[in-house]
Structure 1
Amino acid sequence: MLILGWMAVMAAGGTWWVRRDVTAFARFEALSNTSDRQRFYRRWLVESFAVLVGASVISLWLADALSPFSAFPHAFAPANRALQSRGHPSGDHWLPMAVGLSAGIAISVAIQWRRLKAALSPQPGADAALIPRNRREAALALLLSLNAGFSEELFFRLALPLLLFHVTGSLATSLAVSMLCFGLAHAHYGWKGVLATMAAGALLTFYYLHHRSLLRVMIAHAVIDVLAFFIRPAIADWIIARKPPRWAFLAA
């Protein structure tokens, strides 16, 4: 009953938080003053850490797994065995695979160069508003990326599916619901953003289940965010406009 009550609290609180976040993000998109933007960055940083890490601690305590980095959960072991049973290519096959893959990428880039430039161009997207515009915003955005890697993976990849498994007894259902919640938590990006986030969540889930390392998946998540908010805009500015990155953080 305690677990069911806590899940009801999380469902109600999560629904309220997502709706509030959608409204807040709409206000953030309209901001031009960097001081106002930095206040939003700081608020999101503190709130997301407090809410997700706090919910994770309570959920892991209820699931008898309050040691997330010490051992891989037994509940996830069947998924890990299923992924491991697929095997890996032998050493003799790695070289031709690498050469073939490199050649294929080079040919594709050469053929699709114009499309690649268009794809890299800084066009408005769901997350465009979050791209930092100066060094102070960049520092806060970097902290947001690192926090997302830690707190979101702790909750959506470990705590929530473990708690759901205690209730449903089905690992597949627990993982699927967790990925759905992960996507809905990014509803401020719109429905396309939700679908894209769910797809990213699925990849991160497979990565975690395969490597049995929560730290690895946290780092992978943080790297994805850094690529989205720093590296891609920098490449876009350099390739398309031949100018320094708009946020000029690394350049400094």
Structure 2
Amino acid sequence: MRDSKEYALFKKQESTRERQRYFRVWVVRSFLLHGVASIAILALTGQLATLISMPQAFQNLLPTLAFEDSSRLGRMFGGFMDGLKTMALPVLFVLPTTGSLLRVWLANRNPSNSTNSANEDPQSDVGRDILPLMPRNASERFWTAILSINAGLSEELCFRVAIPMLLLIVSGSAWIAIVVSTLLFGLAHFYQGWLGVIATTFIGAILYWVYLATGSIWITILLHALLDLNDLAIAPWFEEWLKARDSARAQA
């Protein structure tokens, strides 16, 4: 969790020590405000069981989401949704990593593209102002990996479990709980700019679909962490490895 002013200050930092300090602060703050606070909310509302099984109110939405009814069209849509879940979940886990590594490999094969990319506006990554977060060395990469894992855990507990449960208790509507918590997830990334908010809201909707499709918040946590790790740790490490390999070849 970070605000726009704090993020603007972070982007001005050139010292890796200062950059790592920001990473540490963000990890601890997010863990406390999103992770620990979410567990406390669930405990106080008697909803700790939602960490193991999806609340019944959300389970009741599954027939609607799967278009289940007794008609032929309903059965056809239900079969289509089952097939989509079967294919989509493995793809969601494999595609981000494969895509990230392929993108880095292609950029490495064409150094002119890499140079141009480095000089582009940080907003150029699908409008998301995240390039300043990219680690510049192994020590920073350690902290961006921790940041990614913590985001997967803490943000999912907050925006897919705790806040929806509070909204469900207040409104009595599972749909309101899902929609509002997904919008809040997007707004929590306002430091990335409005296009970043739109992009993360869309990602949040996909993550909620995964949660509803699997019934497991822990699978959703794993997927969220993997998505962030791809951007902030795996792809940067692969790029560094490729450059070191090419440098060794050039000197041989």
TM-score (norm 2): 0.72
> Which whole-Å CA distance do the structure 2 matches of 1:75 and 1:178 have between them?
15
| Equivalent pair of 1:52/1:152 in contact (CA under 8 Å) | yes
Other-structure match for 2:130: 127
- Alignment partner of 1:166 is 2:165: no
- Alignment partner of 1:83 is 2:65: yes
- Alignment partner of 1:23 is 2:26: no
How much has 1:204 moved relative to structure 2?
0.1
| Equivalent pair of 1:234/1:244 in contact (CA under 8 Å) | no
Unpaired runs of 5+ residues, structure 1, are 1-16, 99-108, 246-252
How much has 1:29 moved relative to structure 2?
0.4
Deviation track 1:110-150 (CA, whole Å, cap 9, x = no partner) reads xxx99xx8699554331001111111111111011000000
| Equivalent pair of 1:62/1:163 in contact (CA under 8 Å) | no
1:230 to 229, 233, 241: 233
Other-structure match for 1:211: 214
Q: Aligned pairs, how many?
A: 203
1:198 to 192, 201, 221: 201
Deviation track 1:65-121 (CA, whole Å, cap 9, x = no partner) reads 12333222112112233334423349xxx8xxx9xxxxxxxxxx9xxx99xx86995
SS of aligned partner of 1:67? helix
- Alignment partner of 1:64 is 2:46: yes
Change (3 A) 1:162 1:36: same
Other-structure match for 2:94: none
| Equivalent pair of 1:165/1:171 in contact (CA under 8 Å) | yes
Other-structure match for 1:9: none
| Equivalent pair of 2:135/2:236 in contact (CA under 8 Å) | no
TM-score (norm 1): 0.72
Change (3 A) 1:30 1:71: same
Q: What one-letter code is carried by the residue in structure 1 that aligns with 2:198?
A: L
SS of aligned partner of 2:47? coil
How much has 1:233 moved relative to structure 2?
4.1
How much has 1:157 moved relative to structure 2?
0.4
> Which whole-Å CA distance do the structure 2 matches of 1:152 and 1:163 have between them?
15
Change (3 A) 1:63 1:32: same
> Which whole-Å CA distance do the structure 1 matches of 2:51 and 2:221 have between them?
11
> Percentage identity across aligned positions?
36
- Alignment partner of 1:154 is 2:157: yes
Which aligned pairs between 1:7-46 and structure 2 lie closer than 5 A?
21-46=3-28
SS of aligned partner of 1:132? coil
| Equivalent pair of 1:121/1:236 in contact (CA under 8 Å) | no
| Equivalent pair of 1:59/1:159 in contact (CA under 8 Å) | yes
Change (3 A) 1:196 1:89: closer
How much has 1:209 moved relative to structure 2?
0.5
